[in-house]
Amino acid sequence: MKILITGASGFIGKKLVRFLLGKKISVRVMSRNLESLDNLEHNNLEKIKADAQDYKQVLKALEGIDVVYYLIHSMEGESKDWERFVDLDKRIAKNFADASTECNVKRIIYVGGLVSIPDNEMSKHMSSRQEVGEILKTSKAKVTVFRASVILGKGGGGFEMMRYLVERLPIMVCPKWVLTKLQPIYIDDVVRYLYESLNVKETEARTFDIGGPDILEYREMMKKYGKINNKSIIMIIIPFLSLRFTSYWVDLVTPIKASLARPLVEGLKNESVMTEKSIMDLIPIPLKGVDESLKLTSHEEDKEEFTKKENYLSYLLIILGITGVLHYLIDQRLMTMQPLTGIVTLVWLTVIGIGYYFVRKRARLGSLLAGIVGWTAALFWLTDTMYLISYLPKIGPYQVSKGMAILGSFPDVNTSILNIIGLCIVAVLLVVAHFTFYDKEIYTTQL
């Protein structure tokens, strides 16, 4: 039996490849970017580069294949384009369905989303996952659909969103979807179902709900995760928080981009609890509960590798803070400063601190705050230094302004030099903050 695993670089795909290789099963893995499969090496492994949008490439990937694990999901790109993924997913599924028929593929095994509400109440994201399953069924291959709720494991979208939120925010303002009931399943149990179904004929051409033994609210799961990791969280539920607001909020405080957060949050609006349990008789495996799954997941190694930009930005924030503090030692005007100016500076330094924290937590909010403190300092130092321009010769007939003495008098020479140094630091910081904020590498591929 020759097997193709699509989405092999993804969350489920990666685990499935390793599991099947461990069972001495030969597999062909497919990705648009073979470098993402660099850490997968085995004698029984064949890698193929293919983009599922290209029918010819799909045909090539399916040559001689009996069983396809369909684990493709296109959630990437700009946040405003997230609805485009839905169409893209359908086109890709159609390519696979047709190519599977042409290549005489015998089985397709697909993992879709689990929802336990009527079709007409389903979120766009969830109905799209369902449609993908329906499109795959148009092929002559026998299609097995496993419908899963949140899958617990490092790298899973829904799980990572929860993890990042709990680890970053002691107090959370949440929309009411945190009260939605879920039936999470541990990643290894999903992989086990995917493997076992190869040998259970009754699973061919059928749809199954899969889930762990526990049903709970997303909120309870967050609290459990917090408890296991010694983080206490306070959640304030605000029912009218919109989807758009929530996804942008998740985008800012976690490394998950709004384009990914939006469908994830949308999906969590829908209750996802098993409504049929026939898989438990056909493939009776011991299933892990939420507590055990979260514990296992928490023990997995979490290596944070910062990009150069993130490192530079954190150093620049420290240097900016030091430059600000140096003003107190050098600037005579600040020595006799009013309490109000002191408070403003303290707030500025606090924002630098929060910015630094979020840069080290790999959240966009860090670069956003770096931009805010950078621009504030730039405006202050520029205005404060404006008087220097008056030393320049007149420009044509124009009288150059002497600027404003914003601290009661103009800065002396030492302060002016410090202002200019500060401006140079700010200029570099603003450029780095801009490129960090828009870094696609950081905010789309690290999950």
Ligand X SMILES: NC(=O)c1ccc[n+]([C@@H]2O[C@H](COP(=O)([O-])OP(=O)(O)OC[C@H]3O[C@@H](n4cnc5c(N)ncnc54)[C@H](OP(=O)(O)O)[C@@H]3O)[C@@H](O)[C@H]2O)c1
Binding site for ligand X (CB under 6 A): 6-7, 9-13, 31-33, 36, 51-53, 71-75, 92, 111-113, 129, 148, 150-151, 156-158
SS3 176: helix
Smallest gap from residue 380 Cβ to ligand X (A): 44
Q: Tell me the one-letter amino acid at 60.
A: K
Q: What is the C-alpha to C-alpha distance for residues 55 and 51, in angstroms, rounded to an integer?
A: 8
What values do phi and psi take at 228, rounded to 5? -60, -35
Pick the closer one to ligand X by CB: 72 or 221.
72
Strand partners of residue 173: 236
Output 94 or 360, the one with its CB closest to ligand X: 94
Query: Are 30 and 5 contacting, i.e. CB atoms less than 8 angstroms apart?
Result: yes
Residue 1 CA to residue 382 CA, distance in Å, equals: 71
Distance of closest approach, residue 260 Cβ to ligand X, in angstroms: 8
147 or 327, CB closer to ligand X?
Answer: 147
From the CB of 276, what's the least distance to ligand X, in Å? 17
Residue 430 CB: number of other CB atoms within 10 A? 18
Q: Which amino acid is at 49?
A: K
CA atoms of 294 and 214, how far apart (whole Å): 12
Task: Decide if 223 contacts 292 (C-beta within 8 A).
Answer: no
Closer by beta carbon to ligand X, 14 or else 333:
14
Question: What CA–CA distance (Å, rounded) separates 277 from 280?
Answer: 6
Least gap, CB of 82 to ligand X (angstroms)? 13
Strand pairing category for 181-182 and 216-217 = antiparallel
Shortest separation between residue 189's beta carbon and ligand X, angstroms: 12
Pair of tokens at residue 387 = 């008087």
Q: Within a 10 A sphere around the Cβ of 102, how many other Cβ atoms?
A: 14
When the beta carbons of 157 and 321 are compared against ligand X, the nearer one is 157
Q: Which residue is nearest to ligand X (CB)?
A: 10
**Assigned token pair, 23:** 């069972």
Smallest gap from Cβ 250 to ligand X, in A, equals 15
Q: Looking at beta carbons only, is 211 or 371 nearer to ligand X?
A: 211
Please report how close the Cβ of residue 93 comes to ligand X at its closest, in angstroms: 10
Compare residues 122 and 373 and give the one whose CB is closer to ligand X: 122
